[in-house]
């Protein structure tokens, strides 16, 4: 593909990204504002770095100031409506007013919150008006940064009143406007709750870390190393897409943005190799989506989970290792079996980089990631590890002249990182409205009682199925972190009431919230990938579900027996290792049945047998493992002799 074709493809991807993500539609400024805004973003970054590490500040003040920065930059950078002129010399007058209202309302909270907290939440009529104005600013910012989520939050906010007219479990006694506004603004359960607290700490730092990795050449290192390792194998470009997209999606935490960036390179490569365009688009979408629950970074959502659970991040990260491993092994096997089925070969050796040369010239760019993991396992907080890894990225880049981050690159990385944190941060703020409503109305508990009453016999798997459907629906069209925060508020209590451990319940909901990115009818990642591939959206979405089948099935196998989650059960290391090995065989059997290929093409009877074998290997248990291994071994032997014949 020549430079002209690549440029056209990049432009198409950018257009698709603009359709799906508001942060790609930012205003651009000329004149003095062109220098003022990047400088202000750098000031915000310095503030965040200082007060999440060395500085001393109360949690409520940090969250309120973070909100001021988030909302102000949203009003300045995000257009009021889609057809608005994007190039400006100054923001519109109404946005200047919105910024002033934001600063005044949240600034008033910072000054007066100690008094209100000491009086048990007693506020004056004027302070109710201030809360209402602040909430209006939050909704306007969310409308620009994430329209779907703002609409969902508006429905939840209205539920505070119309819920009084609903029957059964969904009904409540109703609340006065004053009570709702106090909860949403003056308390710590609304817009200044855990969601924005996580945005002000973990999310901002890890988005910034991802930006520094990008400008240091880490993405190029990952792509070249993947090509050198698996590019020559059958269907090599698809395997490169899986590995590179998993690593980059893990860091940036946005499946859609990852598809739009890495997909412009990997999807044409897959099509040139011989894969169907629907398949190529689906592979990229599935690989990018899984990065959101793939350790060691988990797209920053793992830190949110650790905050909710009150556990260390390393505990959450270790628990997610096996589900992520099975997900990506299943995807790699799917692209391999598809390549064998189509008779595809890999790229020729002369067109591939040398692995040793890549490691020698670019391997130092992996040091920041190694530093991050090492510091967290050594017992340091994720915030400490993230800050040191950011500085470590700069230091590592200077180990070789061709990767050195100049002052300009550092400035650009800082500005891009701060911009990248805006839309996710605003989502976390508006999610506070949803969480505040769930807390005030006891919606989460009531939904739990409703589902448990519906299930009757407390069947954990039927409960899990209903929660899966709920999680997928609530997560549609919402960024990974935001989707998880919404889902955990409503769905996690349901699973805990049915007898599942908190860590297992949270991980179960996280995976399905993330997989909503590839679940029709709102499979955003798959639709962006289909636009790049030039394929049918519906077919690409269905292919994505098929390729991500392991992700949809695996959570049910650790729901009642968390031996597959490292550290989440009292099982010994040997038992966990055995369960992982048999689960890998079960994953292979499941993928082979779906693809119709193992060692050679499978006939219908063989596919049916593989479908029957897969659950026996995926479910942890010695009897089921023995039966599954025997049947799978017999199938392998039978296929081997058939191929020989």
Taking only the tens place, the pLDDT of each residue in 562-599 is 888 888 777 788 888 898 999 999 999 999 999 888 88
Residue 569 structure tokens: 């059960």
- The larger pLDDT score, comparing residue 347 to residue 503, is at 503
- Phi and psi torsions of 26, nearest 5°: -70, 150
Chain segment 266-296, per-residue pLDDT in tens: 888 788 878 888 998 999 889 988 888 888 8
Q: Which residue ranges make up each domain of the chain?
A: 3-151+173-187, 198-569, 571-645
Distance CA 73, CA 67 (A): 10
Q: How many CB atoms lie within 10 A of CB 175?
A: 19
Q: What is the pLDDT of residue 643?
A: 77
Q: How confident is the model at residue 408 (pLDDT cuts 50, 70, 90)?
A: very high
How many residues in the chain?
A: 645
Q: In Å, how far from its chain's centre is CA 215?
A: 21
Q: Is the pLDDT of residue 608 over 90?
A: yes
Nearest to 278 by CA among 524, 532, 523: 532
Distance CA 50, CA 275 (A): 49
Cβ–Cβ < 8 Å for 230, 236: yes
Identify the top-confidence range among 93-107, 207-221, 513-527.
Answer: 93-107
Q: What is the mean pLDDT of the chain?
A: 84
What residues form DSSP beta bridges with 597?
601
- Phi and psi torsions of 28, nearest 5°: -120, 140
Q: What is the pLDDT of residue 15?
A: 56
Q: What is the pLDDT of residue 8?
A: 57
Q: Is the pLDDT of residue 254 over 80?
A: no
Q: How confident is the model at residue 107 (pLDDT cuts 50, 70, 90)?
A: very high
Distance CA 604, CA 598 (A): 13
Buried b / exposed e over 297-331, threshold 16 CB at 10 Å, is bbbbbbbbbbbbbebebbbbbbbbbbbbbbbbbbb
Cβ–Cβ < 8 Å for 312, 306: yes
Q: Is the pLDDT of residue 13 over 60?
A: no
Cβ–Cβ < 8 Å for 483, 513: yes
Q: Residue 597 gets which letter from DSSP?
A: B
Least confident of 71-80, 140-149, 193-202, 474-483: 474-483
271 three-class SS:
helix
Instruction: Please list, in sequence order, all residues whose beta carbon lies within 8 angstroms of the beta carbon of residue 268, skipping any fewer than 6 positions away.
Output: 1, 5, 9
Cβ–Cβ < 8 Å for 551, 322: no
Q: Angle at Cα 320 formed by Cα 513 and Cα 612, nearest 5°?
A: 80
- The larger pLDDT score, comparing residue 592 to residue 380, is at 592
Helix (H) or strand (E) holding 28: strand 28-29
Q: What is the pLDDT of residue 128?
A: 92
Nearest to 273 by CA among 354, 358, 351, 220: 351
DSSP, residue by residue, 104-165: HHHHHHHHHHHHHHHTTS---HHHHHHHHHHHHHHHHHHHHH-HHHHHHHHHHHHHHHHGGG
- The larger pLDDT score, comparing residue 25 to residue 183, is at 183
Distance CA 455, CA 102 (A): 46
Q: In Å, how far from its chain's centre is CA 47?
A: 25
Q: Residue 278 gets which letter from DSSP?
A: H
Average pLDDT (356-363) is: 85
Q: What is the pLDDT of residue 12?
A: 54
Nearest to 577 by CA among 325, 379, 295, 345: 325
282 three-class SS:
helix
Chain segment 414-464, per-residue pLDDT in tens: 999 899 888 888 888 988 898 888 888 887 777 777 777 777 666 788 888
Residue 368 structure tokens: 């920041």
Q: How confident is the model at residue 14 (pLDDT cuts 50, 70, 90)?
A: low
Distance CA 408, CA 397 (A): 14
Q: Angle at Cα 307 formed by Cα 75 and Cα 103, nearest 5°?
A: 25
Instruction: Please list, in sequence order, all residues whose beta carbon lies within 8 angstroms of the beta carbon of residue 151, skipping any fewer than 6 positions away.
Output: none
Q: In Å, how far from its chain's centre is CA 102?
A: 29
What residues form DSSP beta bridges with 88?
29
Distance CA 640, CA 634 (A): 10
Q: What is the pLDDT of residue 364?
A: 87
The CB-side HSE value for 33 (13 A sphere, CA atoms) comes to 13
Q: Residue 614 gets which letter from DSSP?
A: H
2 three-class SS:
coil
What residues form DSSP beta bridges with 197?
none
Q: How many CB atoms lie within 10 A of CB 542?
A: 17
């Amino acid at each position: 593909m020549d430079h002209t074709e690549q440029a056209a493809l990049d432009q198409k991807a950018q257009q698709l990204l603009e359709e799906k993500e508001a942060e790609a539609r930012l205003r651009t400024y000329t004149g003095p504002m062109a220098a003022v805004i990047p400088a202000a973003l750098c000031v915000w970054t310095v503030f965040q770095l200082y007060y999440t590490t060395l500085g001393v500040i109360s949690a409520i003040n940090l969250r309120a100031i973070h909100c001021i920065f988030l909302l102000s930059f949203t009003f300045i950078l995000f257009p009021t409506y889609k057809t608005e002129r994007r190039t400006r010399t100054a923001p519109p007058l109404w946005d200047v007013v919105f910024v002033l209202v934001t600063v005044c309302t949240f600034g008033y909270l910072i000054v007066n919150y100690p008094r209100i907290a000491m009086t048990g939440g007693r506020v004056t009529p004027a302070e109710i008006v201030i809360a209402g104005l602040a909430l209006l600013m939050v909704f306007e910012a969310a409308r620009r940064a994430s329209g779907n989520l703002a609409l969902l939050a508006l429905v939840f906010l209205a539920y505070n009143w119309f819920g009084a007219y609903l029957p059964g479990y969904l009904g409540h006694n109703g609340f006065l406007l004053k009570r709702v506004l106090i909860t949403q603004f003056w308390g710590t359960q609304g817009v200044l709750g855990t969601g924005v607290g996580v945005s002000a700490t973990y999310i901002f730092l890890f988005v910034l870390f991802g930006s520094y990795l990008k400008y240091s050449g880490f993405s190029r290192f990952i792509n070249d190393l993947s090509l050198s390792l698996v590019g020559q194998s059958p269907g090599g470009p698809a395997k490169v897409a899986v590995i590179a997209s998993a690593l980059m999606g893990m860091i940036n935490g946005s499946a859609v943005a990852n598809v739009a960036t890495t997909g412009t390179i990997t999807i044409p490569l897959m099509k040139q190799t011989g894969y169907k365009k629907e398949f190529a688009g689906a592979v990229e979408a599935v690989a990018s989506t899984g990065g959101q629950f793939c350790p060691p970074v988990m797209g920053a959502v793992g830190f949110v989970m650790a905050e909710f659970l009150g556990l260390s991040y390393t505990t959450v990260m270790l628990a997610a290792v096996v589900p992520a491993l099975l997900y990506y092994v299943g995807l790699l096997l799917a692209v391999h079996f598809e390549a064998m089925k189509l008779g595809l070969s890999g790229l020729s050796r002369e067109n591939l980089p040398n692995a040793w040369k890549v490691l020698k010239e670019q391997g130092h760019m992996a040091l920041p990631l190694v530093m991050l993991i090492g510091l967290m396992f050594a017992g340091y907080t994720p915030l400490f590890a993230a800050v040191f890894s950011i500085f470590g990225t700069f230091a590592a880049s200077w180990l070789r002249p061709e990767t050195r981050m100049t002052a300009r690159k550092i400035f650009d990385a800082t500005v891009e990182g701060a911009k990248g944190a805006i839309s996710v941060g605003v989502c976390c703020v508006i999610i506070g409205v949803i969480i505040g409503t769930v807390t005030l109305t006891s919606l989460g508990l009531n939904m739990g009682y409703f589902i448990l009453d519906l299930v009757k016999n407390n069947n954990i798997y039927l409960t899990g199925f209903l929660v899966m459907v709920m999680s997928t629906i609530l997560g549609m069209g919402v960024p990974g972190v935001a989707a998880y925060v919404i889902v955990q508020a409503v769905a996690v209590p349901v699973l805990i009431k049915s007898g599942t451990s908190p860590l297992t319940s949270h991980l179960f909901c996280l995976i399905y919230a993330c997989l909503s990115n590839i679940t029709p009818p709102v499979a955003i990642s798959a639709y962006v990938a289909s636009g790049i591939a030039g394929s049918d959206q519906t077919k690409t979405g269905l292919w994505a579900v098929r390729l991500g089948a392991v992700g949809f099935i695996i959570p049910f196998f650790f729901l009642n027996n968390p031996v597959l989650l490292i550290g989440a059960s009292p099982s010994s290391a040997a038992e966990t290792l055995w369960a992982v090995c048999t689960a890998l065989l079960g994953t292979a059997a499941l993928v082979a049945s779906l693809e119709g290929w193992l060692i050679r093409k499978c006939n219908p009877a063989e596919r049916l047998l593989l479908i029957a074998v897969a659950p026996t290997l995926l479910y942890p248990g010695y009897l089921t493992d023995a039966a599954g291994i025997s049947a799978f071994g017999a199938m392998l032997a039978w296929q081997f002799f058939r191929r020989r014949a």
